[in-house]
């Protein structure tokens, strides 16, 4: 592995190609993403909250996010971009959030300009803080990072609240405040993705391709052609895993067996291989001579 910092590796990766960032809601899924060949991954607040049985309305705190990030980076070498919601408070809270995430081994985070209690970015009923207040949070985030390559991404939810032009104006302000990249949430169609990129040339952009939201599910190649450097798939794996788990649980309850689902499961060998079971076992034997 490179000795470069996680933030540096994330920056180098998006400079080389438009990155697919799959949502990894637990360390084992992060390891699977690395095994498949992804060059970076993403910790989604929506997915993390859901795994704890909670809605994505800002109920988790910075320490819970940092603990989840630390568990992922402990077993996965991919640079990890993390959701940081609103920064969990005002500018001074953002300072602490950045320090916690960086200490957990994350490559970077994104902050959003919603008011608390926040809502999923693809739902209605959102409200925003003042642009200058968000700019202050971005400045605090930049000032707090120890590694200058730790990535600070500013997300704006203004498209669904104040309109497209307001989203562009807010984004420009956030770049002036020091944001390394921009995340326009819930754009309405391909033309809006194109127009946003045209309005903010030379700034790394992130597109969110979450399912069942307000944005169309565009191909990564199309987004790359428009100028986007990162593409999120925040809850895709979790949604699929839940459906698969639902099917096997229904069979266990209704049929009394799981035989019809066996071909959809990881085998024991596949799971042990992903966990590096043999590596642990061989080292254990070696320690005892």
Catalytic residue among 185, 228, 229, 233: 185
The reply to whether 168 and 268 lie within a common domain is no
3-class DSSP state of 153: strand
The reply to whether 171 and 277 lie within a common domain is no
Rounded Cα–Cα distance for residues 145 and 34 (Å):
26
The reply to whether 172 and 232 lie within a common domain is yes
Q: Is 120 one of the catalytic residues?
A: yes
φ, ψ of residue 179 to 5 degrees: the values are: -60, 140
| Domain annotation covers residue 17 | yes
Question: What's the pTM?
Answer: 0.95
Q: In what order do the strands lie in the sheet with 181-184?
A: 41-43, 80-83, 108-112, 151-156, 181-184
Average pLDDT of 207-234? 97
CATH number at residue 98: 3.20.20.60
Q: Is 110 one of the catalytic residues?
A: yes
The reply to whether 163 and 261 lie within a common domain is no
Catalytic residue among 39, 155, 159, 170: 155
| Domain annotation covers residue 266 | yes
The reply to whether 80 and 199 lie within a common domain is yes
pLDDT of residue 221: 98
Where residue 122 falls among pLDDT bands split at 50, 70, 90? low
| Domain annotation covers residue 1 | no
Q: Is 25 one of the catalytic residues?
A: no
Retrieve residue 148's tokens. 């200058």
Owning domain of residue 258: 242-287
The reply to whether 117 and 199 lie within a common domain is yes
Average pLDDT of 25-37? 98
Rounded Cα–Cα distance for residues 247 and 154 (Å):
39
Last residue of a domain, one of 218, 237, 256: 237
Transcribe 113-146 into DSSP letters: -BPSSP--TTSS---B--HHHHHHHHHHHHHH-S
Is residue 150 within 8 Å of residue 181, measured between CB atoms?
no
Average pLDDT of 136-161? 97
Q: Is 155 one of the catalytic residues?
A: yes
Counting residues of the chain whose pLDDT is more than 90, the rounded percentage is: 93
Retrieve residue 78's tokens. 């991919």
Q: Is 263 one of the catalytic residues?
A: no
Is residue 65 within 8 Å of residue 108, measured between CB atoms?
no
More confident residue, 126 or 53: 53
3-class DSSP state of 267: coil
Where residue 125 falls among pLDDT bands split at 50, 70, 90? low
pLDDT of residue 279: 94
Q: What mean pLDDT is reported for the chain? A: 95
Q: Is 276 one of the catalytic residues?
A: no
Q: Over 80: is that where the pLDDT of 6 sits?
A: yes
pLDDT of residue 116: 79
């Amino acid at each position: 592995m490179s000795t470069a910092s996680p933030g540096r590796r994330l920056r180098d990766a998006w400079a080389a190609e438009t990155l697919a960032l799959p949502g990894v809601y637990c360390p084992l899924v992060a390891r699977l993403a690395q095994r498949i060949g992804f060059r970076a991954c993403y910790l989604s607040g929506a997915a993390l909250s859901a795994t704890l049985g909670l809605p994505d309305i800002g109920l988790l705190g910075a320490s819970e996010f940092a603990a989840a990030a630390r568990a992922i980076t402990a077993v996965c070498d991919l640079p990890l971009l993390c959701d940081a919601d609103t920064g969990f408070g005002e500018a001074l809270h953002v300072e602490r959030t950045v320090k916690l995430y960086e200490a957990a081994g994350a490559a970077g985070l994104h902050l959003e300009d919603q008011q608390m209690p926040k809502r999923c970015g693809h739902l209605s009923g959102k409200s925003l803080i003042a642009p200058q207040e968000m700019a202050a949070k971005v400045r605090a985030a930049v000032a707090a990072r120890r590694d200058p390559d730790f990535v600070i991404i500013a997300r704006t939810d203004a498209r669904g609240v104040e309109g497209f032009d307001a989203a562009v104006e807010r984004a420009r302000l956030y770049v002036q405040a020091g944001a390394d990249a921009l995340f326009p949430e819930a754009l309405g169609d391909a033309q809006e993705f194109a127009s946003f990129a045209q309005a903010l040339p030379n700034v790394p952009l992130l597109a969110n391709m979450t399912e069942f939201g307000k944005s169309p599910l565009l191909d990564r190649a199309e987004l790359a052609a428009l100028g986007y450097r990162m593409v999120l798939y925040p809850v895709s794996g979790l949604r699929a895993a839940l459906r698969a788990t639902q099917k096997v649980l229904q069979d266990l309850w209704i049929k009394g067996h799981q035989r019809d689902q066996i071909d959809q499961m990881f085998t024991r060998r596949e799971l042990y291989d992903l966990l590096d079971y043999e590596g642990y076992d061989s080292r254990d034997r070696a320690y005892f001579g």
